[in-house]
Chains A and B, each alone.
Chain A
Amino acid sequence: MFRDFDFQVIFGNLDILWDGMLITLLLTAVAIVGGILFGTVLALMRLSKYMVLSLVAGRYVDAFRSTPLILVIFWFYFAVPIVIGRPIGGLYSVLIAFTLFEAAYYCEIIRAGIQSVTRAQFSAGLALGLTNRQTMGYVILPQAFRNMVPVLLTQAIVLFQDTSLVYVVGLKDFLTAADLIAVRDNRVVELYFTAAVVYFVLCLTASLWVRKLQRKYAI
């Protein structure tokens, strides 16, 4: 099977592939950090005693979880320039789309994490004279994040794979870069095979690491 493979096309285009990988990693990193930050806010809103806040956050999560990611990417690519009146380019629209989309998923993970910490721990914080906010910040969230590390990382792996969808707006991520070379040099099999191996190795490594962490944090 490999007899007809021409791996020279891979080595000769490493720079293009690497640039693509940088875009993929940048997207993943921004969406993880932005998603977790915004997701935490959403989760706190969902758990708030104020009905309006929890309703708004709940609808937000429902809306994004009921929409295919590829549509969200499209939508932001075309809608954001209309809303703000000027084009912002593929990269920014995609960064926004991913962050907002991932926040909906992270919200649910973080909410479950917060609820995994017992009510009595909250009482213990309050009994020491800490305010609600301090108790959340120093007592509940640190424990919640500890409990959710494995799930958060699993979601990050899914996100890493999902970034390949940005090809629809012409952003040159890793897969798009591989695709461009494949079409240009007519080496489809080699490029797609390489892309698959790269995704597989990176995701498998991350998965094994998560499994190790899971064992470490298991109680």
Chain B
Amino acid sequence: MIKVENVSKWFGDFQVLDDCSTKVDKGEVIVICGPSGSGKSTLIKCVNGLEPFRDGTITVDGISVGDKSTDLPKLRSRIGMVFQNFELFPHMTALQNICLSQMKVLGRDRDEAEARGMKLLERVDLVEHAHKHPVQLSGGQQQRVAIARALAIDPIAMLFDEPTSALDPEMINEVLEVMVELAQEGMTMIVVTHEMGFARKVAHRVAFMDEGRIVEEAPADAFFTTPRQERTQLFLSKILQH
């Protein structure tokens, strides 16, 4: 469903992505990990066209992202994205956050959007917070609203950009639980994260990135038990030793 082929990207002289290729089938969950600055976030932002890239192609459901004639807003309305810092709109309530794109992008009327919004809030267990503004919610609650917001447009795939790295430790689980459920329901997902427990539990494949390259990509079991590359082994030994 999502195909990334030989993608390279530069910020000025600095090459952030170096010949990256991977693909995600329908219903598949892939986890991308790697040290900071390795290009993981940049790569998934290329998938929905938030970051332009110079070389290579990315297609989503057969549509080329880098093609100038592609209707990017339309393409993005089919892909949900969750950000590291939530990025809820602070001037709107939780429910309004979830309704905005339904009304302005999908053209649903207010009643329909709110009904769907409340259902999604129920799903992330936040019904009683529907009319609160983001500042009144904890980080974990904000991120769950952000997931509900991304789901509101009925996406065919979800992108997660380090969804738990800005959270206090005790809030990480409530967010991961929602993500695990989504994965188990068969949502196609690309998840940039360091939560290796999550990766082991639901990822079909894990990719390791370093210095803009996908160094290793393997089925989750193999990735953790028998990593082939030395760089991957070093990374895993560092983050799994505790």
Q: Which residues of A contact B (CB under 8 A)?
A: 120-121, 123-131, 134, 138-139, 142-143, 146
Q: Is the CB of A124 within 8 A of B87?
A: yes
Q: Is the CB of A129 within 8 A of B73?
A: yes
The answer for the CA separation of A139 and B90 in the assembled complex, in Å, is 9
Q: Is the CB of B90 within 8 A of A128?
A: no
Which residue on chain B has the smallest CB distance to residue A142?
B91
Question: Nearest Cβ distance between residue B36 and chain A, in whole angstroms?
Answer: 17
- Tell yes or no: B85 within 8 A of A by CB: yes
CB < 8 Å neighbour of A120 from B72, B85, B91: B85
- Tell yes or no: B213 within 8 A of A by CB: no
Which residue on chain A has the smallest CB distance to residue B82?
A127
Question: Nearest Cβ distance between residue A191 and chain B, in whole angstroms?
Answer: 46
Q: Is the CB of A134 within 8 A of B104?
A: yes
Q: Is the CB of A138 within 8 A of B76?
A: no
The answer for the CA separation of A128 and B151 in the assembled complex, in Å, is 10
Q: Is the CB of A127 within 8 A of B104?
A: no
The answer for the CA separation of A27 and B121 in the assembled complex, in Å, is 49
A-B pairs with the 6 shortest C-beta distances? A129-B77, A124-B87, A128-B101, A127-B81, A129-B105, A129-B76
Question: Nearest Cβ distance between residue A120 and chain B, in whole angstroms?
Answer: 5
- Tell yes or no: B43 within 8 A of A by CB: no
The answer for the CA separation of A126 and B105 in the assembled complex, in Å, is 11
Q: Is the CB of A128 within 8 A of B76?
A: yes
Assess A130 versus B50: contact at CB under 8 Å? Given A120-B85, A123-B87, A143-B91. no
The answer for the CA separation of A129 and B106 in the assembled complex, in Å, is 9
Question: Which residues of B have CB within 8 Å of A143?
Answer: 89-91
CB < 8 Å neighbour of B105 from A124, A130, A142: A130
- 9 A-B pairs with CB atoms under 8 Å apart are A121-B89, A124-B88, A127-B80, A129-B77, A130-B100, A134-B105, A138-B89, A138-B100, A143-B91
Q: Is the CB of A126 within 8 A of B90?
A: no
Q: Is the CB of A120 within 8 A of B101?
A: no
Q: Is the CB of A127 within 8 A of B48?
A: yes
Q: Is the CB of A127 within 8 A of B50?
A: yes
- Tell yes or no: B9 within 8 A of A by CB: no
- Tell yes or no: B144 within 8 A of A by CB: no
CB contacts under 8 Å to A, within B64-87, are 72-74, 76-81, 83, 85, 87
The answer for the CA separation of A134 and B105 in the assembled complex, in Å, is 9
Q: Is the CB of B153 within 8 A of A146?
A: no
Q: Is the CB of A128 within 8 A of B50?
A: no
Q: Is the CB of A128 within 8 A of B105?
A: yes
Q: Is the CB of A139 within 8 A of B83?
A: no
